[in-house]
Amino acid sequence: MFINHDFIYKILEETKNPTNEEIKEVLEKAKKRDGLSYKDIAILLQAEDKNDLEEIYKLAGEIKKDIYGKRVVVFAPLYVSDYCVNNCVYCGYKRDNKFTRRKLTMEEVAEEVRILEKMGHKRLALELGEDPVNAPIDYALECLDTIYKTQNANGEIRRVNVNIAATTVENYKKLNEKGIGTYILFQETYHEDSYNKMHPKSLKGDYEYHLTAFDRAMEAGIDDVGAGVLFGLADPRFEVLGLMMHNAHLEEKYGVGFHTISVPRLQPANGVTLENYPYLLDDKMFKKVVAILRIAVPFTGLILSTRETPKMRRELLKYGVSQISAGSSTGVGGYKQREEGEEIKQFKTNDERSPIEILKELLDDGYIPSYCTACYRKGRTGDRFMSLAKSGNIKYVCEPNAIMTLLEFTLDYGDKELYDKAQEIINTEVENIPREDIKNMTKASLEKMKNGERDFYL
């Protein structure tokens, strides 16, 4: 098995109490973007000195700025079914929780999508519990068809990322044929004993089958996969090294590692309290983990959800987060419920702002909110995306596309304040595009957009 527990324990023991010199050596190595060893990453994870941590944050911010520029990708989740046969102890959907379960009809899915489209979303993450009878793969496929064909006057969902349970190569092929974006699956915890305790008497309880899901997905032709752990279930230092081992396994076997890594922290949920979890992350440790992930995998997107507060999200954008959810509901049919004032959530969220409010803050902080999905539609996925990212050439399409989607949003969904804020940054950033041909193409596209044309991205 490629998650070597004994090796991780050994590395963590050897790197206890690193010196300032050892930390500085790792940071100098990291500046070259040539990759870090597991020992290097472990040394950073053990850093506690305030000055060392500030240096880690500073380097993480520099790496993010160099690779991602000012753009921040924005998306929303769509929960379609809370039927689940698993009994995951940390989850509000667990089997032992007694509540009225539901899954959306296709009419209800379309209604949720129209609400999301009115919010300006172009990229969704499809979410559902594991239940082979009540929510089989065919249901997920039908949901994908419905999402892609549902449109409003100004709205359409251009790409759906999918977060469903580990499944077979055959089922992954079916998902791939539907034109999904990234296949997302959280290992929850890489620590096998903890994993087994967290998933008692569950289909999800097979650690190895869950761990090798991305292998089956890639065998089926899905070349963009997104990983994550639920921080709080086991030692976060172990989890980060587990993520790095998993990423290395995929790179060695398939030539491409994680497209994204999500960093959710455990939150209270229906039937779930935080009393019996000894590895809950305080803010200091959480910020360190995010910054180190950015340093360790510079070209991998880091996703932060509305589990975190606006203050924490704002700070972590400085240290490496490149994608955030906005206006999210974590309940089945939650967007319609919210309109009716009775939203039911899978877990507690801490950022209840609307997308427009979040975009205004991003603009105030100098970011370019991006609703771009062009890479998926232009075939820039998997190793092709990573080669462009590592060469530095991806910026020639990402930032112009972010600018165009920002204008599109402000024209279709924004208020005057948002439009004025956006125009200021758009005008500045277009002039900063280094290549004249792309600058001219971007200007032409922006003019077409003002005249009512849509969906023509680099």
- Going by C-alpha positions, the residue among 240, 175, 174, 246 that lies closest to residue 208 is 246
Query: What's the average model confidence in pLDDT over 29-39?
Result: 90
Does residue 291 sit in the same domain as residue 263?
Answer: yes
Specify if 367 maps to a domain: no
The answer, yes or no, to whether residue 254 has pLDDT greater than 90, is yes
How many CA atoms within 13 Å lie on the side-chain side of 193?
5
Does residue 347 sit in the same domain as residue 198?
Answer: yes
- Domain range for 428: 392-450
Q: Which pLDDT score, from 0 to 100, does residue 390 have?
A: 77
Phi and psi at residue 33, to the nearest 5°: 60, 25
Q: pTM of the full predicted structure?
A: 0.94
Q: In angstroms, rounded to a whole number, what is the distance separating the alpha carbons of residues 173 and 166?
A: 13
The answer, yes or no, to whether residue 34 has pLDDT greater than 90, is no
Least confident among 20-24, 289-293, 374-378:
374-378
Specify if 159 maps to a domain: yes
**Total count of domains within the chain:** 3
Does residue 212 sit in the same domain as residue 276?
Answer: yes
Does residue 231 sit in the same domain as residue 262?
Answer: yes
Does residue 222 sit in the same domain as residue 335?
Answer: yes
Query: What percent of the chain is modeled with pLDDT above 70?
Result: 98
Q: In angstroms, rounded to a whole number, what is the distance separating the alpha carbons of residues 422 and 327?
A: 19
- Going by C-alpha positions, the residue among 307, 357, 311, 312 that lies closest to residue 330 is 307
Q: Which pLDDT score, from 0 to 100, does residue 346 have?
A: 57
Does residue 146 sit in the same domain as residue 39?
Answer: no
The 10s digit of each residue's pLDDT in 361-411 is 999 999 999 998 877 777 787 777 777 777 777 777 889 999 999 999 999
- Contact partners, residue 267, CB within 8 Å, separation at least 6: 274, 307, 347, 348, 349, 350
Q: In angstroms, rounded to a whole number, what is the distance separating the alpha carbons of residues 353 and 361?
A: 11
Burial class (CB in 10 A: 0-12, 13-18, 19+), 341: exposed
Does residue 104 sit in the same domain as residue 137?
Answer: yes
Where among 38, 65, 92 does a domain terminate?
65
- Going by C-alpha positions, the residue among 184, 262, 240 that lies closest to residue 40 is 240
Phi and psi at residue 99, to the nearest 5°: -150, 165
Specify if 19 maps to a domain: yes
Specify if 378 maps to a domain: no
Specify if 245 maps to a domain: yes
CA 269 → CA 190, 275, 332, distances in Å?
22, 12, 14
